[in-house]
Structure 1
Amino acid sequence: MDPPPIFISTEPAMLLMVEGKPVLAPIDKSSLKFVVNTNWDILFDEAAGSYYLLSGDVWMTAKDIAGPWELATSVPAALEQLPDDDTWQHVKQALPWAPRKGMVIPKVKYSDKPAELITFKGEPVWEKIEGTRLSWANNTESDVFQEEGGDVYFLVSGRWFKTPKLGEAWTYAGNDLPEDFKQIPEDGPEGDVLASVPGTDEAEDAVILASVPTEAVVNIKQAEAKAAVAYNGDPSFKPIEGTQMTYASNTASDVIQNGGKYYLCQDAVWFVSDTANGPWKVCKDVPEAIYSIPPSSPVYRVTYVNVEDEDDDDGEVTCSYTAGYFGAFVAGLALGDCLVWGTGYYYPPYVGWWGHYPAYYPYHYSYGCAATYNRWTGGYAVGERVYGPYASAGRAAWYNPETGRYGRAAHVEGPYGG
């Protein structure tokens, strides 16, 4: 398994992720455009040919989105005329703008795909873990360890990566983690990582919790009334690797074509139709082929949704789902099972156009959000401080030109969503 790009910084830094080239969308009644496919507030002033990035309450500017970024001495007057709605509330709170004397901006680490950032407060400070050959870095919010005379280890999204030395290439380490990791004290500052150490009780507990299905009794008529799919233009389908099935690529919905039928998984309920546009009827018998969809497919998560029972007399159907539907998967490793965040695959987003307006539909991220397991909540939480106010681009932003709607939201994921 390939690691994501992993950046290291010993000074204040932030990770700017843009999935591919910037996707610019217009703002109603404004001369400015905003970058849809990123984890930060970035606006583009065409007249000046400049980007403006908001980090906290500090504005930075650059001619190229990849940088270099510098402190903005001024910002476009058009920012003051942004719409008065929740989308731009965070931005308008940072106005008016006047840089303060001596203000220092963070280093901007740029990536055109999901990445991770380890920020140390100065050079790494290693603290010995008693009874082991391990030390942990106590001046970073990331989970970083060093084996005596050996490699440096980094845990993110439930997966371990290692490098001979910080600054050198990382490799996957999930199948050959040193035994000393099992001896990390449960009540110590790094006790949470035990849930990601194969063979520990904590890892087993996390797997068991994530494997417990949640059942819901669904009113068939009400569910069918809400079932709908919005495509960007005519429905477009792509092959699902290793199968005879295809999936709809130009929609935010999970639609799968199999054997002349179309199957929609919406809110953990299955629907079926003779056409890609519906009408949709609750599906009471999901084809077995759908459960062979591989993790390399962006619609893999639907394999964690099942139909348990249906009662025609009551007009209800019982559906169930487990943690995989919301992004937490059980990974079988050589030393035991662990709960990880995401499949480990990167699914490039769909970017299309509706006239002069972009349509942007991202898929679930494995990386790019500093996902860590919280043993007290039994779920994964995503980072925000250096990753942006929306935590990650892939889970946080969407734009639909057909409806004119755009949204962002930071979030926390439990075993069954956030």
Structure 2
Amino acid sequence: MLAVAAHAHAAGIGSGTGWVAGAAQDGAVTIDARPFPRDFSVDGVGFSIHQPQLVSWQGNQLRARAVMSVDTGVHTGADGKQQASMDYGTLDIAARTQVDKQARAVVLSGLEIERASFPSAAGKQAGYLALARKQLQAKPTLTMSLDALEAALAIMKADAAGASQTVRNDPPEIVFSTAPAILVLVDGQPVLKPAGAPGVQRVINSRSLLLQQGGRYLVSIGGHWASATSLDGPWTPVQTPDAGLVSAARQAVEGHQVDAMADPPQALKDVFRAGRWPDVYVRTRPAELISVQGEPQFAGIAGTRLSYITNTGADVFVDAADAHRWYVLVSGRWFSAPGSRGPWGHVAARSLPADFAKIPPDSPKSGVLASIPGTPEAQESLIANSIPQTATVDRGKATLQVAYDGAPAFATIDGTPLQYARNTPVPVIRVDGSHFYAVDKGVWFSAGAATGPWAVASSVPAVIYTIPSRSPLHYVTYVRVYGHNGDEVYVGYTPGYYGTVVSDSVVVYGTGYLCTPWVGTFWYGCPLTYGMGAYFGWNAWVGWTFGWGWGWYDGWYGPYSPWWGPWYGPASPWGWWGGGAAAWNVYGHWGNAAVRGTAAAWADPWTGNVGRGARGGFYNEATGARGVGRAGINTNAYTGTTTAGAQGIRYNPQTGRVVAGGGAVAVNPYTGRAARAGERTVVNTDTGRVTQAAGGAVVGPHGGAGAGAFDTHGPSGGEAKGAGGFHYNADTGTLHHGGVVDINDSIYAGHDGHVYHYDNGDWSKVTRPDASRNLSGETRKGLDSDRFARERGNERISARQPTRVDIPRSGGGQARPVGGFRPGLGGGARGGGFRHR
């Protein structure tokens, strides 16, 4: 939709501003690169056209909406001062497109205005439509930024990909424990293979270190051993393991096949220090462990008959209005039972008792609102789940090597003519005998044979996006190629690549489908849905997030990383690891450019960080990550930095970045650097760099970007301030200014024909200022998607070039060996043994 505002001071038609002024004498077309809104004048009436919002773009046929604002004179305001009077409406337009990639511009020709809507000036609607059409008759060509349109198109495709999927909701085994406990998952019946020491075998289809010697099973955690005659236990401590066991364990850890949890969480250390062993639960089928710190303690939720267990990080409720029935939220799915012992059954989110939707937004349990259909929090989660992470890949620098466990072994992808390779850590898809495609770290590659050579794909066959949710490779359908220009390929992915799926109008984790893993010399498993404490949450400051618990405070030891989890690469060769996050960027593996809009959410005790959160802090044994997603405190013992969050401060010690979003504070007493809620402030507590911005900015150890007014400075110099856009890449040391960027065009055309204004999280009708701000879910979703598209496009425009991702092949940095799954951020979606490529 186009938004047009008419006003007396607008430029004349002959100025050529916004519309192409016609071909120059040399045949070239002058490109108007001014930001929207753009001003015009027809028959003495001034009006403005705001940035078009994409409706569809098929081939060279584009449809869009835009806001038109017309200047109707002046009036005297309540303060006695003269103010401009405006009529706002929307235009539906259609046009042919011609793309100039060198100029990063799209020429809209044959432009037609199909209809107009001026709800607050219906009597003038026909006249305003004639006004706009007359402008088109004079200059029937409009130019737009290719970056802006590509961003909008990416989000449209993500919305389509985010449509509801068919998932399975069979209840996992839900194990309640009131004592310290660990959960060890085995992918089916245990498969034993020689472990490199005489008489010792290892269960290869588990990431836990499970050995067998002399008819007994042994498990090792943080250097402590226990044994049992069967996987069902009971498990008893082993004080001194023999040399063969120690050797087998060392080989498995060094080979990145297992994680023996060399640095267990403090709660588990305390258990061992007391001479005790936690309860061990080994499961070969889907299971979820809910640990409670002692006997359950309950608290009521105001305005409802619900109560919840306060001494667990899990989401466990009891409904007094329904015979005190129990409800738990696991992987975004609801299950209920008469009591904690079950039997558990799935409850469709739309069938929950009405009291769940009444949970107050400021409740300690407000996070579950994201999993209750119809709530604003659930709507936000659907939108956030549809927004892609994008990048530009250099085909000359991105390479891929694929190794197989023997000769390539392909199996049919049910419901499609496609096949996939079962015996490789990379998702390889066979389209036909001469066309193969693979995904690695969010980038598509293609080859003429299963063994390569592989090159970055400039397009992907549409049939690949028909892979159903019941397939173990469904997650690749959330990775896209948006276009290419020479050696540059524009790519992106949505959170579905991490395992999220839209079902029953909420976002859930995992599809719930099981598959048969590959077990040969190596183990390559299937995507998991349960067992890692997948958590969805929402609050007013952080918004929608999801992550993994893997061990609430009392020492739950789950799998080392999700069996589906492409961002958890092994220690080698990529040398990267992470925790739960609000927005990850897999493309960080390919280079070191930071762009606004991504924010990791959790802290890491390996760097000295410790923390607890009122919401239910968690510890991730796979990565050593601790997190606070609600009110809480996190302190870095090495730097002295303390972050206190009242509903949402985000701190990522891997990057040293603190983002203050509201009601929170972060302070480093050694440097005096601090961030307070309510300010657009980013603090790097490792380097001391502080960035403040109006309009938005982000800074990490490898660079930063922003648009609007900004001020950035650090203890070692490198100050910069000003207005406009900037993009800083620490790899090259360049600070690029993109000139003045108009980030204030906050007028949008709604799908309902009304014009809306966005202000600090709120939408209001411009066409009816006194109307209620309560928008329908569909209207708000459309407006939010358009806003995200506009902001993403402005980010790219501000840098005057797409974000380039150079792709090194060597890793570095701190990492834990989290083997036992497909590496490389491509096949990581499936569990399995790690192998160097």
The alpha carbon displacement at 1:394 in A equals 5.8
User: Contact (CA 8 Å) 2:301, 2:363: kept in 1 or not?
Assistant: no
1:86-110 deviation digits (Å, cap 9, x = unpaired): 958956779xxxx989733222222
2:556 is aligned with 1:381: no
2:180 is aligned with 1:12: yes
Given residue 346 of structure 1, which amino acid in structure 2 is its aligned partner?
A: L
Specify which of 196, 206, 210 is matched with residue 38 of structure 1: 206
* SS of equivalent to 1:175: helix
CA distance in 1, matches of 2:569, 2:456: 28
- Classify 1:394/1:201 alpha carbon distance in 2 versus 1 (closer, same or farther; 3 Å): closer
1:64-103 maps to which residues of 2 (within 5 A)?
Answer: 64-81=230-247, 82=250, 103=275
1:310 corresponds to which residue? 484
1:367 corresponds to which residue? 530
- Classify 1:42/1:392 alpha carbon distance in 2 versus 1 (closer, same or farther; 3 Å): farther
The alpha carbon displacement at 1:189 in A equals 1.7
CA distance in 2, matches of 1:100, 1:305: 44
Specify which of 436, 454, 457 is matched with residue 262 of structure 1: 436
Given residue 235 of structure 1, which amino acid in structure 2 is its aligned partner?
A: P
Given residue 231 of structure 1, which amino acid in structure 2 is its aligned partner?
A: Y
The alpha carbon displacement at 1:318 in A equals 0.6
RMSD (Å) for aligned C-alpha atoms: 3.3
Given residue 170 of structure 1, which amino acid in structure 2 is its aligned partner?
A: W
- Classify 1:51/1:288 alpha carbon distance in 2 versus 1 (closer, same or farther; 3 Å): same
User: Contact (CA 8 Å) 1:37, 1:393: kept in 2 or not?
Assistant: no
Specify which of 251, 259, 281 is matched with residue 424 of structure 2: 251
User: Contact (CA 8 Å) 1:247, 1:255: kept in 2 or not?
Assistant: yes
User: Contact (CA 8 Å) 1:210, 1:415: kept in 2 or not?
Assistant: no
1:267-346 maps to which residues of 2 (within 5 A)?
Answer: 267-312=441-486, 315-331=487-503, 333=504, 337-346=505-514
1:37-186 maps to which residues of 2 (within 5 A)?
Answer: 37-44=205-212, 46=213, 48-56=214-222, 58-81=224-247, 82=250, 103-150=275-322, 151-173=325-347, 174-186=349-361
1:289-308 deviation digits (Å, cap 9, x = unpaired): 11111001011011111111
* SS of equivalent to 2:507: strand
CA distance in 2, matches of 1:345, 1:89: 26
* SS of equivalent to 2:350: coil
* SS of equivalent to 1:53: strand
Given residue 211 of structure 1, which amino acid in structure 2 is its aligned partner?
A: S
CA distance in 1, matches of 2:199, 2:372: 51
Structure 1 window deviating more from structure 2 (339-348 vs 110-119): it is 339-348
- Classify 1:238/1:392 alpha carbon distance in 2 versus 1 (closer, same or farther; 3 Å): same
The alpha carbon displacement at 1:23 in A equals 3.5
1:196 corresponds to which residue? 371
CA distance in 1, matches of 2:560, 2:364: 27
Query: Which structure is larger by alpha-carbon Rg, 1 or 2?
Result: 2
What's the % identity of the aligned pairs? 37
CA distance in 1, matches of 2:397, 2:576: 28
- Asked which structure has the greater RCO (Cα within 8 Å, sep 6+), the reply is 1
* SS of equivalent to 1:222: coil
Given residue 142 of structure 1, which amino acid in structure 2 is its aligned partner?
A: A
User: Contact (CA 8 Å) 2:410, 2:420: kept in 1 or not?
Assistant: yes
User: Contact (CA 8 Å) 1:144, 1:153: kept in 2 or not?
Assistant: yes
Given residue 412 of structure 1, which amino acid in structure 2 is its aligned partner?
A: G
User: Contact (CA 8 Å) 2:526, 2:563: kept in 1 or not?
Assistant: no
The alpha carbon displacement at 1:30 in A equals 7.5
Q: Any unmatched runs of 5+ in structure 2?
A: 1-168, 265-270, 587-837
The alpha carbon displacement at 1:85 in A equals 5.1
* SS of equivalent to 2:356: helix
CA distance in 1, matches of 2:418, 2:255: 40
1:347 corresponds to which residue? 515
- Classify 1:147/1:393 alpha carbon distance in 2 versus 1 (closer, same or farther; 3 Å): same
Structure 1 window deviating more from structure 2 (156-165 vs 64-73): it is 64-73
2:386 corresponds to which residue? 211
CA distance in 1, matches of 2:259, 2:386: 39
- Classify 1:29/1:164 alpha carbon distance in 2 versus 1 (closer, same or farther; 3 Å): closer
Number of residue pairs aligned between Structure 1 and Structure 2: 395
* SS of equivalent to 2:385: helix
The alpha carbon displacement at 1:112 in A equals 0.2
Structure 1 window deviating more from structure 2 (206-215 vs 379-388): it is 379-388
The alpha carbon displacement at 1:32 in A equals 4.3
1:356 corresponds to which residue? none
1:99-142 deviation digits (Å, cap 9, x = unpaired): 98973322222210231012233443322111002111112221
* SS of equivalent to 1:15: strand
User: Contact (CA 8 Å) 2:499, 2:565: kept in 1 or not?
Assistant: no
| Structure 1 length-normalised TM | 0.84
CA distance in 2, matches of 1:277, 1:300: 22
User: Contact (CA 8 Å) 1:39, 1:387: kept in 2 or not?
Assistant: no
Given residue 349 of structure 1, which amino acid in structure 2 is its aligned partner?
A: P
CA distance in 2, matches of 1:90, 1:27: 15
User: Contact (CA 8 Å) 1:381, 1:413: kept in 2 or not?
Assistant: yes
User: Contact (CA 8 Å) 1:383, 1:391: kept in 2 or not?
Assistant: no
User: Contact (CA 8 Å) 1:125, 1:139: kept in 2 or not?
Assistant: yes
The alpha carbon displacement at 1:236 in A equals 0.8
User: Contact (CA 8 Å) 1:284, 1:310: kept in 2 or not?
Assistant: yes
Given residue 361 of structure 1, which amino acid in structure 2 is its aligned partner?
A: Y
The alpha carbon displacement at 1:71 in A equals 2.2
CA distance in 2, matches of 1:346, 1:6: 17
1:260-293 deviation digits (Å, cap 9, x = unpaired): 3211122222222221111223322311111111
Given residue 173 of structure 2, which amino acid in structure 1 is its aligned partner?
A: P
Structure 1 window deviating more from structure 2 (16-25 vs 283-292): it is 16-25
CA distance in 1, matches of 2:272, 2:311: 28
2:108 corresponds to which residue? none
CA distance in 2, matches of 1:410, 1:40: 19
- Classify 1:100/1:229 alpha carbon distance in 2 versus 1 (closer, same or farther; 3 Å): closer
1:55-82 deviation digits (Å, cap 9, x = unpaired): 4554211122332212224322345553
User: Contact (CA 8 Å) 1:235, 1:276: kept in 2 or not?
Assistant: yes
| Structure 2 length-normalised TM | 0.44
* SS of equivalent to 2:184: strand
User: Contact (CA 8 Å) 2:531, 2:558: kept in 1 or not?
Assistant: no
CA distance in 2, matches of 1:181, 1:392: 29
Specify which of 185, 189, 197 is matched with residue 21 of structure 1: 189
* SS of equivalent to 1:221: coil
Q: Any unmatched runs of 5+ in structure 1?
A: 354-358
* SS of equivalent to 1:381: strand
CA distance in 2, matches of 1:410, 1:213: 19
- Classify 1:134/1:89 alpha carbon distance in 2 versus 1 (closer, same or farther; 3 Å): closer
